[in-house]
């Protein structure tokens, strides 16, 4: 039976597959106008091109940027004319005043302007799926302004990103920034100066120190793959890990090219006993480190509790450490799947360290925590970046969670920790996380990152 | 929002809608939201009190409301009259009540307020401080979004 059905199946799949492939190559959904600048081929999305023209005798505008050739009367509309070759610092042939130039009339949003190029070639239809992303080592033009590269009929075309190049503000506001000998066209808009400075900076770094660039690149990819942001919170670990990584990878490529490599890089980041009940040894360390409390009520906030292992462990730990206190734990996570399993977690006997046995009861399917323990915990489906409705906490347990947020969100959450805690509150971070905010004192215990507020 | 509260609402919404509307009822992906959100046109709201505080909001557009009301009444309703409003209010009441019953069985004490209904164009609910769980339901009569915000009384 199996042999019979398998054969026709493979036969059927093969042609279909080939068809798919062909279709991908053939599907033309992107047209571009191609032209040349200093002997190289470029393309611009046809949707941005209003028309092409040959024109000359542009009216010179004093005090304009060097790449603005002047203004031109296009059938009654006055448009500014930009020389792309000057803009990109490419050599251009000096023509006489009467000579005609090839002009692409572009439209970006509502704004129309002319762009001078060497030669306008033709319209080429391509499949947008086959556009390759720009490579950072491109020289002539800043990568930011390149949409991608495409191969067509044996020629490589660089597709310019017209929106980035000229929008969102008008070309009259296009200025050049002169910085360290690098002159690049830049668009002046609200958020640009800061961003530009950054780009400018990274551009210089690229040329000066290649080592730092790799580490910057790893930081970028860590955030892209794992949303792990390197900030003062975890910088010490990162620097150390980066050195280790160099040793481990030796001659191999240092960069993280896929999810698996990012996971591997982060391997040493996680705190002991992640995704399992805390071991006896870890519990003992914490028991010794936790300070005495005066109040009868003990409010605990546990953001990013995941499946709830650390929450249960903490509940048992607190019962041992503060037998008199009334403990309430607000545990939340924004991963619905993990958090929805947390309230009804069942354990197999072998998985459970002995010290938990007194807090557990044997059920039909395995061991579960006593109702008395479970009653102390509120598991909530909640995103900590929204308003946190927790009461002032005596203890905040947040291991390896803050690092997996963007730098701004990290700041916000740490500020929230500050706000939602009492004086002398305890904050427990991941072992490789160091609290960068003032007002908290580190408790010097190996293997634990613990802080006490206002001490 | 406590994890224990999620399922009763999702199940109640699914069961009640399936029962009164028949046909294909599907649940979309659950998610959290805390920004102000536009109301599609018809919104029924049920308040919760007791050990918790919060509210449940049923949000749909006018066409879906009319279609749902028509199906529940077994007649063709084309204008947003009292009957339609009363029907949508009743649907909200049925779902919330069933959810609260389920929660009661799990040992949580909730009280309900009588439902209220809002209709109009370009309405917006904005209580930025409240994080709400959104349960999108896709019925044969249009989309209904159930917006649950419950907070433990601290």
Nearest in space to A141 (alpha carbons), one of A199, A88, A85: A88
Is the model's pLDDT at A82 over the cut of 60?
Answer: yes
Nearest to A381 among B133, B151, B152 (CB): B133
Is the model's pLDDT at B79 over the cut of 50?
Answer: yes
pLDDT-derived band at A225 (thresholds 50, 70, 90) equals confident
CATH of B3-152, one of 1.20.1250.20, 3.40.1550.10, 3.40.50.10320, 3.40.50.10440: 3.40.1550.10
A379 to chain B, any CB pair closer than 8 A? The answer is yes
The CATH number for A344's domain is: 3.40.50.150
Calculate mean pLDDT across residues B60-68: 91
Calculate mean pLDDT across residues B16-34: 87
Contact B154 A390 (CB under 8 A): yes
Is the model's pLDDT at A309 over the cut of 60?
Answer: yes
% of chain A residues with pLDDT over 70: 82
Is the model's pLDDT at A404 over the cut of 80?
Answer: yes
B11 to chain A, any CB pair closer than 8 A? The answer is no
Nearest to B131 among A339, A342, A386 (CB): A386
pLDDT for res B154: 60
Contact B3 A380 (CB under 8 A): yes
Domain boundary among A145, A178, A211: A178
Is residue A420 assigned to a domain? yes
A392 to chain B, any CB pair closer than 8 A? The answer is no
Domain boundary among A178, A208, A236: A178
Q: Give the residue from chain A lying closest to B107, CA to CA.
A: A375
**Residues 329 through 348 of chain A touching chain B, CB cutoff 8 Å:** 334, 336, 339-340, 342-343
pLDDT for res A31: 87
pLDDT digits over A110-157, tens only? 888 899 998 888 888 888 888 888 776 665 556 778 888 888 888 888
Calculate mean pLDDT across residues A45-58: 86
A146 to chain B, any CB pair closer than 8 A? The answer is no
B4 to chain A, any CB pair closer than 8 A? The answer is yes
pLDDT-derived band at B32 (thresholds 50, 70, 90) equals confident
Contact A386 B30 (CB under 8 A): no
Per-residue 3-state assignment (H helix, E strand, C coil) for chain A: CHHHHHHHHHHHHHHHHHHHHHHHHHCCCEEEEEEEECCEEEEEEHHHEEEEEEECCCECCCCCCCCEEEEEEECCEEEEEEEHHHHCCCCCCCCCCCCCEEEEEEEECCEEEEEEECEEEEEEEECHHHCECCCCCCCCCCHHHEEEEEEECCEEEEEECHHHHHCCCCHHHCEEEEECCEEEEECCCCCHHHHHHHHHHHHHHHHHCHHHHHHHHHHHHHHHHHCCCCCCCCHHHHHHHHHHHHHHHCCCCCCCCCHHHHHHHHCCCCCCCCCCCCCHHHHHHHHHHCCCCCCCEEEEEEECCCCCHHHHHHHHHHHHHCCCCEEEEEEEECCHHHHHHHHHCCECHHHCCHHHHHHEEECCCCEEECHHHHCCEEEEECCCCCCCCCCCEEEEEECCCHHHCCHHHHHHHHHHHHHCEEEEEEEEECCCCCCCCCCEEEECCCCCEEEEECC
Is residue A137 assigned to a domain? yes
Contact A387 B133 (CB under 8 A): no
pLDDT for res A301: 92
Calculate mean pLDDT across residues B44-53: 87
- The answer on A47 and A169 residing in a single domain is yes
pLDDT digits over A359-378, tens only? 888 888 888 888 888 888 98
Q: Considering only CB atoms, which chain B residues are within 8 Å of A380?
A: 1-3
Calculate mean pLDDT across residues A206-221: 66
Q: Considering only CB atoms, which chain A residues are within 8 Å of B30?
A: 336
pLDDT for res B94: 92
Contact A340 B34 (CB under 8 A): no
Q: How many domains does chain A have?
A: 2
State how far the Cα of A335 lies from the Cα of A325, in Å rounded to an integer: 30
Is residue A62 assigned to a domain? yes
Q: What angle do CA A189, A194, A197 make, to 5 degrees?
A: 110
Nearest to B3 among A343, A389, A391 (CB): A343
- The answer on A287 and A174 residing in a single domain is no
- The answer on A448 and A327 residing in a single domain is yes
pLDDT digits over A316-328, tens only? 888 888 888 889 9
Is the model's pLDDT at A9 over the cut of 90?
Answer: no
Is the model's pLDDT at B10 over the cut of 80?
Answer: yes
B153 to chain A, any CB pair closer than 8 A? The answer is no
Nearest to A389 among B4, B30, B151 (CB): B151
pLDDT for res A210: 43
Q: How many CB pairs under 8 A join A and B?
A: 45
The residue with greater pLDDT, A17 or A81, is A81
ipTM for the complex? 0.81
The dihedrals phi and psi of A401, each to the nearest 5 degrees, come to -115, -45
State how far the Cα of A374 lies from the Cα of A328, in Å rounded to an integer: 10
State how far the Cα of A236 lies from the Cα of B12, in Å rounded to an integer: 50
pLDDT for res A26: 61
pLDDT for res A221: 84
Contact B129 A390 (CB under 8 A): no
Q: What is the dihedral of CA A114, A118, A121, A123, to 10 degrees?
A: -30
pLDDT for res A140: 52
Is the model's pLDDT at A390 over the cut of 50?
Answer: yes
Domain boundary among A128, A160, A178: A178
B77 min Cα distance to partner chain A (Å): 39
* Listed range (A344-353, A377-386, A394-403) with the worst mean pLDDT: A344-353
For A58, counting Cβ atoms within 10 Å of its Cβ (0-12 exposed, 13-18 middle, 19+ buried), the class is: buried
Is residue A8 assigned to a domain? no
Is the model's pLDDT at A199 over the cut of 80?
Answer: no
The dihedrals phi and psi of B39, each to the nearest 5 degrees, come to -100, 140
% of chain A residues with pLDDT over 90: 4
Q: Considering only CB atoms, which chain B residues are within 8 Å of A390?
A: 154
Name the residue range of residue A318's domain. 280-453
The residue with greater pLDDT, A251 or A206, is A251
Contact A387 B130 (CB under 8 A): yes
B34 min Cα distance to partner chain A (Å): 6
Q: Considering only CB atoms, which chain A residues are within 8 Å of B7?
A: 340
pLDDT for res A203: 36
pLDDT for res A107: 86
Calculate mean pLDDT across residues A279-297: 84
Averaged confidence pLDDT in chain A: 78
Only one residue has tokens 């308040």, namely B47
The residue with greater pLDDT, A210 or A260, is A260
pLDDT digits over B80-134, tens only? 899 999 999 999 999 999 999 998 888 888 888 999 999 888 888 777 677 888 9
The residue with greater pLDDT, A300 or A6, is A300
The residue with greater pLDDT, B38 or B80, is B80
The dihedrals phi and psi of A372, each to the nearest 5 degrees, come to -60, -35
pLDDT for res A442: 86
Nearest to B131 among A343, A387, A391 (CB): A387
CB contact set of A286 (below 8 Å; sequence gap of 6+): A278, A317, A428, A448
Is residue A91 assigned to a domain? yes
B3 to chain A, any CB pair closer than 8 A? The answer is yes
Q: Considering only CB atoms, which chain A residues are within 8 Å of B129?
A: 387, 389
């Amino acid at each position: 039976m199996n042999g019979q059905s398998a054969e026709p199946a493979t036969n059927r799949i093969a042609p279909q597959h080939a068809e798919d492939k062909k279709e991908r190559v053939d599907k033309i959904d992107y047209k571009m106008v191609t032209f040349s600048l200093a002997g190289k081929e470029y393309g611009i999305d046809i949707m941005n091109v209003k028309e092409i023209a040959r024109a000359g005798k542009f009216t010179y505008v004093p005090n304009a940027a060097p790449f603005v050739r002047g203004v031109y009367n296009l059938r009654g509309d006055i448009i500014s004319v930009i020389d792309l070759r000057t803009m990109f610092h490419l050599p251009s042939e000096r023509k006489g005043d009467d000579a005609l130039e090839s002009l692409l009339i572009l439209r970006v949003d509502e704004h129309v302007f002319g762009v001078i190029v060497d030669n306008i070639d033709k319209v080429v239809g391509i499949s947008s799926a086959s556009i390759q992303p720009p490579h950072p080592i491109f020289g002539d033009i800043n990568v930011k302004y390149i949409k991608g590269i495409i191969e067509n009929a044996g020629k490589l075309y660089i597709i310019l990103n017209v929106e980035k190049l000229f929008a969102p503000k008008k070309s009259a506001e296009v200025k050049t920034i002169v910085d360290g000998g690098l002159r690049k066209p830049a668009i002046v808009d609200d958020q640009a100066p800061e961003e530009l400075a950054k780009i400018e900076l990274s551009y210089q770094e690229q040329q000066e120190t290649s080592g730092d660039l790799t580490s910057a690149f790893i930081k970028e990819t860590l955030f892209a793959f794992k949303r792990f942001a390197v900030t003062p919170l975890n910088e010490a670990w990162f620097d150390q890990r980066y050195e280790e990584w160099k040793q481990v990878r030796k001659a191999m490529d240092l960069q993280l090219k896929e999810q698996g490599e990012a996971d591997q890089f982060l391997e040493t980041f996680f705190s002991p006993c992640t995704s399992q009940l805390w071991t006896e040894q870890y519990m003992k360390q914490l028991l010794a480190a936790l300070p005495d409390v005066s109040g009868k009520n003990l409010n605990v906030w546990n953001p990013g509790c995941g499946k709830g292992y650390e929450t249960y462990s903490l509940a048992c730990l607190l019962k041992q450490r503060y037998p008199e206190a009334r403990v309430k734990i607000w545990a939340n996570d924004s991963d619905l799947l993990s958090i929805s399993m947390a309230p009804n977690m069942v354990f197999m006997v072998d998985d459970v360290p002995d010290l938990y046995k007194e807090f557990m009861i044997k059920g039909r399917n395995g061991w579960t925590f006593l109702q008395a323990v479970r009653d102390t915990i509120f598991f909530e489906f909640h995103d900590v970046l929204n308003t946190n409705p927790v009461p002032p906490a005596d203890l905040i347990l947040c291991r390896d969670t803050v690092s997996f947020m963007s730098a701004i969100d990290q700041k916000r959450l740490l500020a929230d920790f500050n706000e939602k805690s009492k004086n002398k509150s305890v904050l427990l971070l991941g072992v490789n996380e160091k609290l960068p905010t003032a007002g908290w004192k580190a408790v010097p215990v190996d293997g634990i990152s613990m802080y006490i507020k206002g001490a | 929002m406590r994890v224990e509260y999620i399922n009763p609402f999702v199940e109640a919404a699914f069961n009640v809608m399936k029962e009164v509307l028949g046909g294909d009822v599907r649940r979309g992906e659950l998610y959290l939201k805390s920004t102000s959100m536009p109301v599609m046109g018809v919104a029924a709201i049920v308040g919760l009190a007791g050990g918790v505080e919060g509210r449940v909001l049923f949000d749909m557009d006018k066409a879906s409301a009319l279609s749902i009301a028509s199906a529940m009444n077994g007649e063709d309703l084309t204008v947003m009259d009292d009957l339609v409003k009363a029907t949508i209010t009743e649907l909200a009441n049925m779902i919330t009540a069933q959810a609260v019953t389920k929660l009661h069985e799990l040992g949580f004490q909730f009280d309900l307020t009588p439902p209220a209904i809002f209709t109009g164009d370009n309405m917006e609910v904005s209580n930025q401080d409240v994080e709400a769980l959104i349960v999108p339901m896709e019925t044969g009569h249009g989309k209904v979004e159930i917006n649950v915000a419950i907070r433990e009384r601290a």
